[in-house]
Amino acid sequence: MNVTIVDYNSGNISSVINSFKEVAKDKVTIEVTSDLNKIKSCDKVVLPGQGSFKSCVDALNKIKGLTDILNEFAITNKKPLLGICVGFQMFADIGYEENETKGLGWISGKVSKIDNQNGKFKLPHIGWNQINIVKDSKIFKDIENNSHMYFVHSYELVPNDKKVISATTDYSSNIVCSVEKENIFGTQFHPEKSDRIGLKIIDNFINL
């Protein structure tokens, strides 16, 4: 089996690479690439993303054909894909960071700024927060409810269809922090930075 981490200049992805390699050991090949053919033929895709919604979408669109290949992989062929942080936010139809920007449209909904309630909540939401698991998700196998995960973000994905939500976290309001829609998985938190429990989520994804 091989898992591909999409390298599309979306900011710092070394931690994602290190964590997947740590979990995969020698059993699974971890490829880091923007090569369309390699992405097309691999078994699973990881879509990381740091920085703003707009900068990530722009970076994705800069690589000709990449969005089409990802659509084919996740929507047509229904192969497992995991989005992390902005990689997850890009599943939405639209994002409002910097300018209004069109997302991948896989999860109907929008990405907007977290309400800081007039400064009561500091932004970015940085640090360890507990996840409230609201539905069984394959990536949460052996993950206890209320586990701590590492977050760093100022924007949140608000899906229209609440059925896709697999976990929320409490910061200002109930922020959606994980989704599962058929073969599509996403986490707002960083499993690659969430200690052993985060590595377990990565392990679950690899072993899907």
Partner 1 sequence: MLKNRIIPCLDVKNGRVVKGINFIDLKDAGDPVEQAKIYSDGGADEICFLDITASNENRDIIYDVVEKTSKKCFVPLTVGGGIRSVEDINKLLNCGADKVSINTAAVENSKVVIDSSKKFGSQCIVVAIDAKKNGEKWEVFTHGGRNNSGIDALEYARQMEESGAGELLVTSMDRDGTQVGYDIDLMSKISSKVNIPVIASGGVGNLDHLVDGIKLGKASAVLAASIFHYGKHSVKEAKDYLDSKGIPVRL
Q: Which is nearer to partner 1, 175 or 184 (CB)?
A: 175
Residue 77 sits in the site that holds partner 1 (CB under 8 A)? no
Scanning 30-38, 74-82, 100-108, 190-198 for contacts with partner 1 by CB under 8 A, the matching segment is 190-198
Can you read off the two tokens belonging to residue 150? 């590492």
Complex with partner 1: residue 4 or 50, whichever CB lies closer:
50
Strands 101-102 and 94-95: antiparallel
Distance CA 159, CA 85 (A): 15
Answer whether 197's CB lies under 8 Å from 18's CB: no
Can you tell me which of 67, 112, 116, 183 binds partner 1, judged by CB under 8 A? 116
Using rule CB under 8 A, residue 33 touches partner 1: no
| DSSP assignments along 49-82, one per residue | --S-HHHHHHHHHHSTTHHHHHHIIIIIS---EE
- State both tokens at 6: 């999409």
Q: Which stretch binds partner 1 (CB under 8 A): 69-77, 100-108, 126-134, 178-186?
A: 126-134
For position 20 contacting partner 1 by CB under 8 A, the verdict is no
CA distances in angstroms from 24 to 83, 129, 199, listed in the order given: 18, 26, 10
Binding residue for partner 1, selected from 75, 94, 123, 134, defined by CB under 8 A: 123
Report the alpha-carbon distance of residue 163 to residue 57 in Å, rounded.
Answer: 25
- The verdict on 127 binding partner 1 (CB under 8 A) reads yes
Q: Is 85 a catalytic residue?
A: yes
Is residue 50 close enough to count as binding partner 1 by CB under 8 A? Answer: yes
Which residues within the stretch 160-189 sit at the binding site for partner 1 (CB under 8 A)? 170-171
125 belongs to the catalytic site: no
Instruction: Tell whether residue 148 is a contact of partner 1 (CB under 8 A).
Output: yes
Q: What does each C-alpha distance from 111 to 96, 176, 179 come to in angstroms?
A: 6, 11, 14
Q: Binding residue for partner 1 (CB under 8 A) from 126, 144, 145, 182?
A: 126
- Inter-residue contact 61 to 33 (CB < 8 Å): no
Judged by CB under 8 A, the residue of 14, 37, 76, 99 near partner 1 is: 14
Burial grade of 13 (CB within 10 A; 0-12, 13-18, 19 or more): buried
Q: Catalytic positions, please?
A: 85, 190, 192
Where along the sequence are the contacts to partner 1 (CB under 8 A)? 11-12, 14-15, 18-19, 21-22, 50-52, 55, 116, 119, 122-130, 148, 150-154, 170-171, 192-196, 198-199
